[in-house]
Amino acid sequence: MITFSRFTSAFLVALSGFSLTVSVTAADAPPAKTALGLNASPALKPAQTGAAKVNPDGFISRWFLLDPIPGDGRVTESGVRASAQKEYFPDQLAVVPHDGDKVQVGNTECTWRAIEAKQHNVNLYHFAFYQGKPTSNQVFWGVTIVESPEEMPNVRLAVGSNSGSVWWVNGEEKVALYGDIQTFIDDTASKKFTLKKGQNIVRFIVVNNGGMVDCCARFLDADGKPITKLNTVLPAK
């Protein structure tokens, strides 16, 4: 497992601007009093179930996202790890949900929703905001199935997130990010591992304190190039 932590700055953003997209749209807006609906978001939309290719740059754009869960806003290594290890709902590190499935988190009923990101990043702020839900001090869970046409050795899972996050593939933790950070493309990557032929379950938790919250992920081959011959599968009920 690889972990990564850093404080970003305007200088770093300026240096990286030629290759990175940092999403800050409406980052400090309050939750909508009336839910506008995910179809109103310019960043994501409800997804169709079934199989579809990853985006042209290899980014995983189709996920089941669970409604945001209140957290404590701690994005240090210890805070993110505590959030990842806390049991919010049964089988949270094993479940592969369906669109509309519901889980009980404390006294709140949360719903899994199939979404498709319109850009490289999964805009979790929009996911919450356009449902009229809180965006700050929240925990976000995401799950998808990545289907590979063949066994692929020596791949890496490359991720970015705002803020901290932990990522699993087939039940094994692969990579994590800590700190109050921006989302950068391929911010950090896992050690090399083998992607199975057929279905591979990818799962994340993103922990936010305030402002923008999003993430991005893709698989890189042994030469560090994006793998684009993968499908994402969102099973229908």
In this prediction, residue 34 carries a pLDDT of 73
CATH number at residue 158: 2.60.120
Global pTM exceeds 0.85: yes
CA distances in angstroms from 142 to 119, 169, 180, listed in the order given = 17, 12, 20
Domain count, the chain: 1
DSSP per-residue string spanning 107-129: TEEEEEEEEEESSSSEEHHHHHH
In this prediction, residue 1 carries a pLDDT of 55
Q: Quote the CA–CA distance of 15 and 181 in Å, as a whole number.
A: 16
Answer yes or no: is 7 within a domain: no
In this prediction, residue 209 carries a pLDDT of 94
Q: Quote the CA–CA distance of 96 and 141 in Å, as a whole number.
A: 12
In this prediction, residue 9 carries a pLDDT of 36
Answer yes or no: is 27 within a domain: no
Answer yes or no: is 197 within a domain: yes
Give the pLDDT means over successive 10-residue stretches in the chain (237 positions): 42 34 40 79 97 97 98 96 96 96 96 97 97 96 98 98 97 97 96 98 97 97 98 96
In this prediction, residue 78 carries a pLDDT of 97
Secondary structure class of 97 (helix, strand, coil): coil
CB 45 within 8 A of CB 115: yes
Q: Quote the CA–CA distance of 234 and 158 in Å, as a whole number.
A: 21
In this prediction, residue 33 carries a pLDDT of 55
Q: How many CB atoms lie within 10 A of CB 28?
A: 11
CB 112 within 8 A of CB 99: yes
Answer yes or no: is 224 within a domain: yes
User: Whole domain around residue 222: which residue ranges?
Assistant: 49-234
Answer yes or no: is 119 within a domain: yes
